[in-house]
């Protein structure tokens, strides 16, 4: 199985077996992450992986995509302030056009992480769960009675641009004092590397420092 996660400013592609054991971990960090080049790069990588795992009995049986702010009710990536070129991009429709011949599934990054905790982590599938993801941005996901709660329009849990200080720091969304400006990896990045452009090496460095 292949899992693809878009975490600005890079893309992670993993291959696992059916038990969830990691077989391969690829980081694409030197590409411009815009929809057209992402799809081209993904098709190229998929072709390579299909050849590599051809000798496995079942080959590659499924693909899971995780995109920030993916709305499963519309199939569209919506309102990502630091990814303007992705706003309103109909990713489901565009991937369907690629005729991948392997079943695929798309979920928002935070909902995919929540289901990961249910299936592979310590979360109890029969209880309620609120999962808060703090990476480049901040988002939350709610799980109750065996279901993810997305709200009527698919926006539930998008807490990153909640204003916590009306006269606070300028946010990329245009407002001031958003939660993400204080508590995300982006906020740490801006403090640690002022003036630098987003690059994977800086994120790795921040994660290393957090682990220490
Ligand atoms: Zn904001």
Classify 38 as helix, strand or coil: helix
Do 180 and 81 meet the contact criterion of CB atoms below 8 Å apart? no
| Element (DSSP H or E) covering residue 138 | strand 138-144
- From first to last of its 212 residues, the chain has per-residue pLDDT tens of 899 988 766 788 999 998 889 999 988 876 667 888 889 888 999 999 999 998 988 899 999 999 988 999 999 998 777 777 888 999 999 999 998 989 999 999 999 999 999 988 888 888 999 999 988 889 999 999 899 999 988 889 999 999 999 999 999 889 999 999 999 888 988 888 888 876 667 777 887 887 78
CATH tag, 124-211? 3.30.420.40
CATH number listed for the domain at residues 2-111: 3.30.420.40
Common-topology check for domains 2-111 and 124-211: yes
Distance 41 CA to ligand 1 centre (A): 30
Whole-angstrom distance, CA of residue 11 vs CA of residue 8: 7
For the chain, domain boundaries? 2-111, 124-211
CA of 5 to the centre of ligand 1 (A): 22
Distance 150 CA to ligand 1 centre (A): 20
């Amino acid at each position: 199985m292949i899992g693809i996660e878009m975490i600005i400013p890079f893309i992670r592609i993993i291959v696992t077996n059916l038990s969830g054991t990691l077989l391969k971990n690829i980081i694409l960090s030197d590409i411009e992450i815009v929809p057209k080049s992402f799809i081209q790069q993904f098709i190229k990588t998929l072709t390579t992986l299909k050849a590599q795992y051809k000798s496995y009995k079942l080959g590659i049986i499924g693909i899971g995509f995780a995109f920030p702010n993916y709305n499963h009710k519309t199939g569209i990536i919506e309102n990502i302030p630091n990814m303007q070129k992705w706003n309103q991009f109909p990713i489901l429709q565009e991937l369907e056009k690629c005729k991948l011949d392997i079943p695929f599934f798309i979920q928002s990054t935070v909902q995919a992480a929540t289901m990961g905790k249910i299936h592979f982590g310590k979360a109890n599938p029969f209880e309620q769960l609120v999962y808060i993801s703090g990476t480049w941005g901040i988002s939350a996901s709610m799980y109750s009675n065996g279901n993810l709660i997305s709200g009527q329009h698919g926006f539930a849990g998008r807490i990153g641009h909640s204003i916590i200080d009306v006269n606070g720091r300028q946010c990329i969304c245009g407002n001031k004092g958003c939660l993400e400006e204080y508590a995300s990896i982006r906020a740490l990045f801006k403090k640690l590397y002022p003036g630098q452009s987003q690059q994977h090496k800086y994120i790795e460095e921040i994660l290393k420092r957090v682990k220490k």
